[in-house]
């Protein structure tokens, strides 16, 4: 099992590039099916937000998996592969686990400590699970990542006075206008980002709230929560004349506000118009900034606001990194249990412990000479070895295939390696089994001999 991550984020690519690699909900099933259609990729999850696009994959070969994912990204979005690679980061192995845990814990976010990423990661995982592209590895990894995110927010103060991109947008508006008291805002889009933005705006003194959305009922619902007014989407330009701030966060794939359409409304204004585009792909034509008294800021412009919030969060982030270390170690403890050598050793060890226990009980009931005892013991060893040789040999061979770890996991379930108990009490049998397994693995490591012979 090889873990592979290919991605780009606000740290490696400008918004003009990031908006070309988004994976909205309606394309996720097709994208995931295409990605796992490769013989190299057995599991996949695509995390796509306004600040990052990351493809997580379980591959049968690390280098092959990396190339398969990059080829997929270039092909799916019809981009030049060589140009695309300039903006990508490539992560493999244990570093993938650490990166995901840091992302979900919001340590890699533009605004450290923001709460949205945990929900976005859960949504990405749900898409993949619904598409049938997660298995044992990613079910374990992503579910643990959610626990990591919750643990970081519970055990540190990183989430106190939580900020987000929407909060940063409001902070920028406050700097432009000095105060938001008495200002009127028009919000385009009625999703989570829009609702969060309105929450921050109202808390900071905005008195007029207008909401426009393609689904008018949804705009009414959001506007009602903030004592605002729903605006028919097709007429939002008319209301811009009475607006101080426009914040756009829709799921549109083309510009919602263009220079040509905004120009008439801007011409009849007597005060500045502040546009904040927090959508990816962008909602507002960059050329609107050329209009008189119109000031446009996109998501990359929020970096300055974000930086001001980072310093006070760094101490809590360092505490969170300690939690990440613990969780990475825990995950790889599980991974090691899925590796074929310790699993075969555990199967052999369990069989050997059972053989010895049953042999001891039988010998107590028999009156045998030393020669006869050795003959009976050799017989039990021969039976155990012949019964296990075929299954363990095939398991070792299958473990190197694309879905090899799944065979290992199945073997552990069938042999009850993770839930063994006996009448001596929980753990008594397990302790004996673990001791015997460690002896077998250590001998295999030191001598290079095969894991096999009973009583060796």
Angle, alpha carbons 226-232-236 (nearest 5°): 90
> Is the distance from CB of 348 to CB of 426 less than 8 angstroms?
no
Distance CA 141, CA 399 (A): 19
> Distance (Å, rounded) from C-alpha 306 to C-alpha 109?
10
Dihedrals phi, psi of 187, to nearest 5 degrees: -110, 125
Counting every residue, how long is the chain? 456
CA distances from 350 to 204, 275, 422 (A): 65, 68, 12
What's the Cα-to-Cα distance from 203 to each of 148, 167, 200, rounded to whole Å? 31, 11, 5
Residue environment code for 234-259, b if the CB has 16+ CB neighbours within 10 A, otherwise e: eebbebbeebbbbbbbbeeeebbbeb
**Contacts of 309 by beta carbon, 8 Å cutoff, 6+ apart:** 111, 112, 163, 168
* 381 catalytic residue (yes or no): no
Tokens, residue 59? 């591959």
Range list of β-strands (E), 33-182: 41-48, 52-59, 89-92
What is the residue-wise DSSP string for 76-109? HTT--HHHHHTT-EEEETHHHHHHHHHHHTTSSS
Cβ distance 373 to 447 under 8 Å?
A: no
Q: Is 32 exposed, middle or buried (0-12, 13-18, 19+ CB in 10 A)?
A: buried
* Residue 237, token pair as written in the block: 């330009």
What are the two backbone dihedrals, phi and then psi, of residue 132, each rounded to the nearest 5 degrees? 75, 25
- In the numeric block, the tokens 């996949």 are attached to 44
Given 15, 32, 47, 50, the catalytic residue: 50
Contacts of 30 (CB under 8 A, 6+ apart): none
- What does the block give as tokens for 240? 């811009």
Residues 40 and 61: beta-carbon distance below 8 Å: yes
Note whether 345 and 441 are within 8 A (CB). Answer: yes
Active site residues: 50
């Amino acid at each position: 099992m090889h873990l592979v991550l290919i991605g780009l984020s606000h740290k490696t690519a400008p918004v003009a590039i990031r908006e070309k690699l988004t994976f909205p909900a309606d394309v996720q099933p097709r994208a995931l099916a295409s990605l796992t259609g490769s013989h190299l990729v057995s599991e996949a999850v695509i995390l796509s937000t306004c600040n990052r696009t990351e493809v997580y994959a379980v591959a049968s070969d690390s280098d092959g998996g990396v190339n398969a994912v990059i080829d997929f990204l270039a092909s799916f979005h019809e981009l030049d592969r060589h140009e695309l690679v300039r903006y990508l980061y490539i992560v493999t192995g244990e570093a993938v686990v650490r990166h995901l845990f840091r992302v979900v814990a919001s340590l890699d976010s533009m605004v450290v400590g923001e709460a949205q990423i945990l929900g976005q990661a859960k949504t990405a995982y749900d898409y993949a699970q619904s598409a049938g592209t997660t298995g044992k590895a990613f079910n374990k990894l992503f579910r643990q990542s959610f626990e990591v995110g919750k643990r970081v927010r519970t055990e540190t103060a990183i989430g106190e006075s939580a900020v987000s991109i929407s909060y940063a947008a409001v902070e920028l508006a406050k700097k432009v206008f000095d105060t938001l008291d008495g200002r009127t805002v028009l919000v385009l889009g009625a999703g989570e980002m829009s609702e969060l933005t309105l929450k921050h705006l109202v808390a900071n003194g905005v008195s007029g709230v207008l909401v426009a959305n393609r689904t008018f009922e949804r705009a009414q619902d959001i506007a009602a929560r903030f004592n605002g007014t729903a605006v028919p989407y097709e007429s939002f330009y008319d209301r811009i004349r009475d607006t101080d701030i426009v914040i756009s966060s829709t799921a549109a794939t083309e510009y919602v506000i263009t220079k040509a359409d905004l120009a008439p409304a801007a011409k009849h204004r007597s005060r500045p118009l502040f546009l904040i585009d927090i959508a990816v792909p962008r909602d507002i034509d960059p050329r609107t900034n050329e209009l008189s008294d119109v000031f446009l800021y996109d998501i990359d412009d929020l970096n300055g606001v974000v930086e001001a919030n980072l310093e006070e969060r760094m101490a809590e982030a360092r505490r969170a990194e300690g939690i990440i270390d613990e969780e990475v170690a825990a995950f790889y403890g599980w991974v090691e249990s899925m590796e074929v050598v310790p699993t075969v050793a555990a199967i052999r060890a369990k069989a050997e412990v059972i053989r010895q226990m049953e042999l001891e009980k039988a010998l107590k009931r028999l009156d045998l000479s030393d020669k006869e005892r050795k003959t009976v013991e050799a017989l039990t060893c021969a039976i155990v070895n012949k019964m296990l040789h075929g299954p363990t040999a095939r398991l070792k061979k299958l473990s190197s295939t694309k879905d090899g770890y799944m065979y290992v996991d199945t073997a552990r379930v069938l042999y009850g390696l993770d839930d063994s108990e006996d009448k001596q009490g929980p753990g008594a049998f397990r302790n004996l089994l673990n001791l015997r397994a460690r002896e077998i693995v250590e001998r295999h490591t030191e001598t290079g001999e095969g894991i096999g012979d009973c009583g060796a």
